[in-house]
Amino acid sequence: MLPAVAEKLYLTVRNDMMDRLKKEEVDVHTSTKVLEITPTGVIAECNGEKVTLEGYDHIILALGSKPYVPFDTEGLAPEVYTVGDAVQARDAKWAIYEAYRVAQKI
Ligand SMILES: Cc1cc2nc3c(=O)[nH]c(=O)nc-3n(C[C@H](O)[C@H](O)[C@H](O)COP(=O)(O)OP(=O)(O)OC[C@H]3O[C@@H](n4cnc5c(N)ncnc54)[C@H](O)[C@@H]3O)c2cc1C
């Protein structure tokens, strides 16, 4: 759905990756939202238009994620802390940092 691929990736790593994608003639669809996965491919929306993408052997989902806390933490224990992706899906350093802060506190 983002307008560019791996924008936050370290520049030289990104350049190398983009070169390889180009060399392998990989089709890249930015600003494209998958609406439905069908037996033959994917129906998506790109710039307000519905597009059908077909001809794949595999579909791999590597999507953003939402935080999920299924427990009612109220009254669960005298002190309950939520850290990491359960608060907000980010990268591992945030989970480590928050867990460290809580560990120091308790
Ligand atoms: C495909 C992918 C690639 C990533 N790449 C990177 C990267 O390169 N660098 C980076 O820094 N971050 C990366 N991340 C993000 C990183 O993995 C997370 O930010 C980090 O793992 C969050 O740590 P966490 O402890 O909060 O959650 P998690 O690591 O998800 O740990 C939660 C644990 O709780 C367990 N669990 C869930 N429900 C229950 C239950 N009911 N009972 C018991 N256990 C349960 C799960 O099995 C899991 O082991 C990536 C994430 C994904 C999905």
2 and 21 inside one domain = yes
- Coil, helix or strand at residue 40: coil
Structural domains of the chain, count: 3
**Residue nearest atom 34 in ligand 1 by C-alpha distance:** 86
pLDDT at 44: 96
58 and 78 inside one domain = no
38 and 76 inside one domain = no
68 and 56 inside one domain = no
* Rounded Cα distance, 8 and 24, in Å: 22
Q: Is residue 53 within 8 Å of residue 42, measured between CB atoms? A: yes
Q: Is the CB of 81 under 6 A from ligand 1?
A: no
97 and 82 inside one domain = yes
Domain membership of residue 59 as a residue range: 31-63
**Which of 13, 68, 85 is the best mutation target for the ligand 1 pocket, counting ligand atoms within 8 Å of the beta carbon and taking the most?**
85
Q: What is the pLDDT of residues 86-95, one digit of tens each?
A: 999 998 999 9
Which backbone phi and psi does 20 adopt, to 5 degrees?
A: -70, -40
Tell me which DSSP letter residue 48 carries.
Answer: T
Q: What is the pLDDT of residues 12-62, one digit of tens each?
A: 999 999 999 999 999 999 999 999 999 889 999 999 999 999 998 888 887
